[in-house]
Amino acid sequence: MKRKTIEDAIETLQADVASAADLKTKTILSGLLNLVETLYSDNESLREENQQLKDEMNRLKGEQGKPDIKGRHKKDTSDHSSEKERQGGKGDEENNNKKTRQREAKLPKVAIDREQVCPIDKNVLPKDAKFKGYSDVVIQDIKITTDNVKYRREVYYSPSLGKTFLGQLPADVADKGEFGVGIRSLIPLLKSECNLSESCILSFFQNFGIAISSAYISNQWTKGATDFHQEKTDIIEAGLASTAYQQMDDTGARVSGENHYTQILCNPFYSAYFTVPHKDRLTVLDVLKNFAPRQYLYNLLAISFLEDFHLSKKMRKAVDQQLSKDTFFDEGPFNCLLDAIKLGPQQRTRIEEACAIAAYREQTAAPVVGILMCDDAPQFKLLAQHIALCWIHDGRHYKKLRPVAPQHKKALKDFLTQYWLFYHQLKAYKEAPNNQQAYILPQEFDTLFSTKTDYEQLDERIAKTRAKRDALLLVLDHPELPLHNNASELAARVQARERDVSLHTMSEAGTKAKDTFMTISQTAKKLGVRTYEYIRDRVSGELKLPSLAQLIREKSLEHEIINEPIP
């Protein structure tokens, strides 16, 4: 049965029952409507799963799945975006009124390379015409030309010494192969920033008469980034120390045909990428430590984690007898100690997680993330002292509700109106924190998310949001926190775009290069640095530009001074 048919049938039934004064009849109707909502929702899920299975069977047969063709005027009901609400959209009528786009003046940013005077034919001027200056027009253009240089190295030979002396090549090309700084700088830019495949990069160079091979491009991409890997490490260390919080997300990746995950770690000053085969808690912890060697610590914090993990008393006693308290263990000795205990795979993993997190919290070699903004996936929990959740992620769950009963539609619409009003109250608090609002807003949260309606699925969703109270209201204690995790999601799109172009990386070196140059490129954008200029500065060895890590530290310090509370 089609959705429209169900909606019409329910509306007709409601019109008949609306006149009924019997409370019991209305209660029965409410229960039946919620049953219809549940059955319809389950049916839609099964219908979608069934279509996916059909498509997969067709692909296995060498055929194509069902094409995703949307009608010209059909609204896409699968869009769960909350951008209009987040940005303060009021409604369809107001959103249809196009806002005037605010454009920044671009001429001040344009460097003038040359000037050319456009004279007037004096023969067409009247005798009384007087020169009043110039009317300037700036035309932007670019030249792509070769700069092939034949270096003629002087050669001298000494018969007495039996030795040949050669003139020295410039430092930026000596022992660097047969290609100069420009080409060696363009390859990582075209690959990481412009998302070009290696075959497209080859075609680009060949179009300008450069005799280059695909093998050189591949080798330069995978093996020419040694110094940049250290730049990435420096960026991460500076980024972790630059704010009290970090944002994190992950997206799919492929390495040599195998499924992997790209973890994104970021804040307003940087974005870092890590492609890994797993996304479990220990791997995420490795990312937060920039893959420093794992260490383990069995202390009171680790013991409390084991209790939270519901490890049996018998097993906790065995661990207590085997592991020395308040002692740091490297990975090898720690595994040997665990081998002496009869553990199942899940029990061992929980012990490793508990002790690894405890060691991370206690170590002083690297900054410890105090607040981690992420989604509510289990692998992120316990890693930081506080978890901050994204309001936009939470709002998407409400967008996924598709009621068919008119009163349920109204209940959802009315609640979402209040939901986003509360969100904008939090947004206003961030801009001007005050003790009064910090006291009032938690009470308003409790009131709003204690709402009861006749729509059971909505009530269940509201209860789930209420259970995340502390993580959603952490901004009241830390106004510097964002209310959403859009920064990491936008960073994840860069990896998704790269995956669309190249499908997968083929080697560990290629994967590492991809992550490194994505990190440099996206961090440079956040810091207002031109990626090509930065890469060229490093490739040439001139090192005239400050490192991105240094800029992160400077920007962070400026941010702290600007946001320092006035005494």
pLDDT digits (tens, 9 = 90+) for 253-300: 999 989 999 999 999 999 999 999 999 999 999 999 999 999 999 999
Residue 199: per-residue pLDDT: 92
Q: How confident is the model at residue 89 (pLDDT cuts 50, 70, 90)?
A: low
Q: Taking 80 as the threshold, does the pLDDT of residue 16 lie above it? A: no
- 3-state SS of 414-454 is HHHHHHHHHHHHHHHHHHCCCHHHHHHHHHHHHHHCCCCCC
Predicted confidence (pLDDT) per residue in 188-226, tens digit: 999 988 989 999 999 999 999 999 999 999 999 988 878
Residue 91: per-residue pLDDT: 43
Q: Taking 60 as the threshold, does the pLDDT of residue 470 lie above it? A: yes
CA distance 172 to 539: 8
Query: What tokens were used for 352?
Result: 């490793």
CA distance 547 to 186: 19
Q: Taking 50 as the threshold, does the pLDDT of residue 566 lie above it? A: no
Q: What percent of the chain has pLDDT over 70?
A: 87
Residue 95: per-residue pLDDT: 47
Residue 63: per-residue pLDDT: 73
Widest CA span of the chain, in angstroms?
121
| 527 to 174, 332, 369, 553, 555: CA distances (angstroms) | 32, 40, 22, 11, 8
Q: Cβ distance 301 to 361 under 8 Å? A: yes
Q: How confident is the model at residue 561 (pLDDT cuts 50, 70, 90)?
A: low
- Kindly give, in sequence order, each residue whose CB lies less than 8 Å from that of residue 508, ignoring residues fewer than 6 positions away: 255
Rounded (5°) CA angle 530-532-538: 105
Q: Taking 60 as the threshold, does the pLDDT of residue 90 lie above it? A: no
| pTM listed for this prediction | 0.84
- Please provide the average confidence, as pLDDT, over all residues in the chain: 88
Residue 4: per-residue pLDDT: 66
167: nearest Cα among 180, 176, 184, 155 = 155
Predicted confidence (pLDDT) per residue in 340-364, tens digit: 999 999 999 999 999 999 999 999 9
Weakest mean pLDDT among 47-51, 106-110, 560-564: 560-564
Residue 457 neighbours by CB distance under 10 Å: 18
Residue 147: per-residue pLDDT: 92
Q: Taking 70 as the threshold, does the pLDDT of residue 93 lie above it? A: no
Rounded (5°) CA angle 511-512-516: 120
More confident residue, 84 or 380: 380
Q: What percent of the chain has pLDDT over 90?
A: 69
Q: Cβ distance 391 to 484 under 8 Å? A: yes
CA distance 20 to 32: 16
Weakest mean pLDDT among 154-163, 348-357, 464-473, 503-512: 503-512
Q: Cβ distance 256 to 506 under 8 Å? A: yes
Residue 327: per-residue pLDDT: 92
| 124 to 119, 173, 179, 197: CA distances (angstroms) | 12, 56, 54, 55
Query: What tokens were used for 220?
Result: 């330069």
Q: Taking 50 as the threshold, does the pLDDT of residue 94 lie above it? A: no
Burial class (CB in 10 A: 0-12, 13-18, 19+), 494: buried
Q: How confident is the model at residue 70 (pLDDT cuts 50, 70, 90)?
A: low
CA distance 331 to 295: 6
Residue 553 neighbours by CB distance under 10 Å: 18
Dihedral, CA atoms, 467, 472, 476, 481, nearest 10 degrees? 160
Residue 531: per-residue pLDDT: 95
CA distance 240 to 159: 61
Q: Taking 80 as the threshold, does the pLDDT of residue 79 lie above it? A: no
**Average confidence (pLDDT) over 39-51:** 76
Residue 567: per-residue pLDDT: 38
Weakest mean pLDDT among 73-87, 393-407, 461-475, 507-521: 73-87
Q: Cβ distance 380 to 245 under 8 Å? A: no
* H helix count then E strand count, the chain: 22, 9
Q: Cα 541 vs. chain centroid, distance in angstroms? A: 31
Backbone angles phi, psi at 388, to 5 degrees: -105, 130
560: nearest Cα among 478, 474, 477, 480 = 480
**Average confidence (pLDDT) over 471-476:** 96
